[in-house]
Amino acid sequence: MYVVAGATGRVGSATARSLLAAGCEVRVLVRRHADAAHWAARGAETRVVALDDRAMLGEALAGSAGFFTLLPFDLAVEDLDAHADRLIDSIAGAVADQHVPHVVMLSSGGADLAEGTGPITGLHRFEQALLASGATLTALRSGHFQEKVADVLDVARSSGVYPVFAASADVPHSMVATADIGTLAAQALRSRPADSESIDIVGPSYSERAVAGLLGDALGRELVVTPVPEDAWSGALVDAGFRPHIAVSLAELYRADERGLLDPRGDRSVRVDTGLEMTIARLLAS
């Protein structure tokens, strides 16, 4: 039995679907009963669980051969670090309580660093807590998600502007489709390694200008690529609707990316090949 958290999200749902397609017994963890019904209809066992409830989560992990988990990023919380630490304590504690043998975690490039990476610092603490839990940890570290295009989709449609939070729109970065991460997570669960490891997931490379071109083609309009000056990042994010402390954290993340702090430094790397054109088509279709 494999347990999958975050089954209503892109990576968690892809992980669960891949496991079910392989004929595995799957227990998905969701927050709402309506979501449980969705997965039950697809052959999964379901549990309605809050990840910050250690006892409830422990019950859901009982008897599992492996657990896929992630650290939800909540834009509504007052304190990002306190929110992350509450989840980390609960999840790692439940893993230790139930002696879960193998955990596959959605992490990120830069999670090897304890500071200077904005919200990624929570993933660093999460990796460390899971390593101390007694489980074998497989930390999947990707860079840019292809699905981040969805964050600017409304602005691009309405104004024809593609904002870029970087010094240059012409530097290529690896971009990974979340469906590919889910496939790798399922494969990792089914093939427990002898030792804990961090795996860098490397996808096709695109510059922000190239992303804007592909998105513009899909929308049927030319998009104007507009780099936002670094000293205006926090303010622009606040203007876009983010709370000030969230904007500051995200701006630090963008600076970390500029400085190469999110570059691959794991134990090994795996390449995936889903193209951004396919991901954009899926986003627009949904």
Domain extent for 41: 2-285
Q: Which pLDDT score, from 0 to 100, does residue 268 have?
A: 97
CA 65, 82, 141, 155 dihedral sign is: positive
Q: Which residues of 25-55 are buried (b: 16+ CB within 10 A; e: fewer)?
A: ebbbbbeeeebbebbeeeebebbebebeebe
Q: What is the pLDDT of residues 5-46, one digit of tens each?
A: 999 999 999 999 999 999 999 999 999 888 888 899 999 999
User: Per-residue pLDDT averaged across 66-90, rounded?
Assistant: 93
Q: Is the pLDDT of residue 77 over 90?
A: no
| The two three-digit tokens of residue 209, written as one number | 């200008």
Q: Are 30 and 7 in contact (CB under 8 A)?
A: yes
Q: Which pLDDT score, from 0 to 100, does residue 241 have?
A: 86
| The two three-digit tokens of residue 262, written as one number | 């999110």
Q: Is the pLDDT of residue 275 over 90?
A: yes
CA 210, 264, 8, 245 dihedral sign is: negative
The structure's pTM equals 0.94
**Predicted confidence band at 190 (pLDDT cuts at 50, 70, 90)?**
very high
**How many domains does the chain divide into?**
1
Q: What is the pLDDT of residues 192-230, one digit of tens each?
A: 999 999 999 999 999 999 999 999 999 999 999 999 999
Per the listing, tokens 């899909």 go with 218
| The two three-digit tokens of residue 177, written as one number | 């489709």
**Predicted confidence band at 113 (pLDDT cuts at 50, 70, 90)?**
very high
| The two three-digit tokens of residue 228, written as one number | 């936002």
**Predicted confidence band at 74 (pLDDT cuts at 50, 70, 90)?**
confident
CA 13, 90, 139, 255 dihedral sign is: positive
Q: What is the CATH number of the domain that holds 244?
A: 3.40.50.720
Q: Which pLDDT score, from 0 to 100, does residue 76 have?
A: 80
Q: Which pLDDT score, from 0 to 100, does residue 222 have?
A: 93
| The two three-digit tokens of residue 128, written as one number | 């460390």
| The two three-digit tokens of residue 80, written as one number | 């990002």
Q: Which pLDDT score, from 0 to 100, does residue 34 have?
A: 86
CA Rg value for the chain: 19
Q: What is the 3-state composition of the chain as percent helix, strand, coil, each rounded to the nearest 5?
A: 45, 20, 35
Q: Which pLDDT score, from 0 to 100, does residue 240 have?
A: 83
Q: Which pLDDT score, from 0 to 100, does residue 75 have?
A: 79
What mean pLDDT value characterizes the chain? 95
Q: In Å, how far from its chain's centre is CA 134?
A: 23
Task: Tell the burial category of 77 from Cβ atoms under 10 Å away from its Cβ (0-12, 13-18, 19+).
Answer: middle
d(CA 86, CA 122): 11
Q: Which pLDDT score, from 0 to 100, does residue 286 have?
A: 83
Lowest mean pLDDT among 114-123, 154-163, 271-280: 154-163
Q: What is the pLDDT of residues 128-169, one digit of tens each?
A: 999 999 999 999 999 899 999 999 999 999 999 999 999 999
